[in-house]
Chain A
Amino acid sequence: GENVEQHPSTLSVQEGDSAVIKCTYSDSASNYFPWYKQELGKRPQLIIDIRSNVGEKKDQRIAVTLNKTAKHFSLHITETQPEDSAVYFCAASKMGFQKLVFGTGTRLLVSP
């Protein structure tokens, strides 16, 4: 089955810096890749997603890139703010198999 690896497990940056989180997946049939932000004790919140027919997607300070050949995708956050501090999860799924397979999470800490 699908396996998603995520790194780093923790990431500390200064406010205003950029942050990059990387994930790799094992199943070449996977075609949908969402990213979720989860604050302590709260629900995972979808922040951006990308499908395999595009290589990059951007939404204000957040962007996601996908390399299908290498089977990896990355989350880029620019101009980080303290409120960006949370755990971020990547996930993958494939058409016809709706379930999401999640990575192990990255704890992002943005210091003022």
Chain B
Amino acid sequence: GAGVSQSPRYKVAKRGQDVALRCDPISGHVSLFWYQQALGQGPEFLTYFQNEAQLDKSGLPSDRFFAERPEGSVSTLKIQRTQQEDSAVYLCASSLGRTVDSNQPQHFGDGTRLSIL
């Protein structure tokens, strides 16, 4: 596709439910990132993949958060036993990132707005 695609655009869940958010990066982009953006704030890093390898998960707030990218393309961010503080916009970004040492421009998707009731 032309850009990073995320689904669903909106997700409402009850506290305690599990949710799964999908990200389809730009074709050919090796690096994939997940960020969390609270209302009125800047995006905050969650995790980073180089192909299928998860190289940095230092931003995941708890072990309820899990991300995967099994074939090095589409990625899924899963949140288990959701809590109200998980409500936020979850943004996915991708970059060419052909080497770990290269900081390539990151291109964002429209995000998934998650609301936990």
Choose from B31, B50, B110 the contact partner of A42 (Cβ within 8 Å). Answer: B110
- Chain A residue with the shortest CB-CB distance to B41: A104
Choose, from A55-63, A76-84, A92-100, the stretch at the interface: A92-100
Q: Quick one: given A44-B91, A89-B42, A104-B42, are A49 and B100 in contact (CB under 8 Å)?
A: no
Choose, from B18-26, B67-75, B78-86, B101-109, the stretch at the interface: B101-109
Q: Is the interface of B mostly helix, strand, loop or mixed?
A: loop
Task: Tell me the count of chain B residues lying within 8 A, CB to CB, of chain A.
Answer: 30
Question: A93 — which chain B residues lie within 8 A by C-beta?
Answer: 103
Determine whether the beta carbon of B91 is less than 8 Å from that of A43. yes
Determine whether the beta carbon of A105 is less than 8 Å from that of B42. yes
Determine whether the beta carbon of B45 is less than 8 Å from that of A43. no
- Chain A residue with the shortest CB-CB distance to B45: A99
Task: Tell me the count of chain A residues lying within 8 A, CB to CB, of chain B.
Answer: 26
Determine whether the beta carbon of B100 is less than 8 Å from that of A96. yes
Q: Say if the beta carbon of A20 comes within 8 Å of chain B.
A: no
Determine whether the beta carbon of A98 is less than 8 Å from that of B108. no
Residues of A within 8 A of B (CB): 31-32, 34, 36, 42-46, 49, 51, 89, 91, 93-105
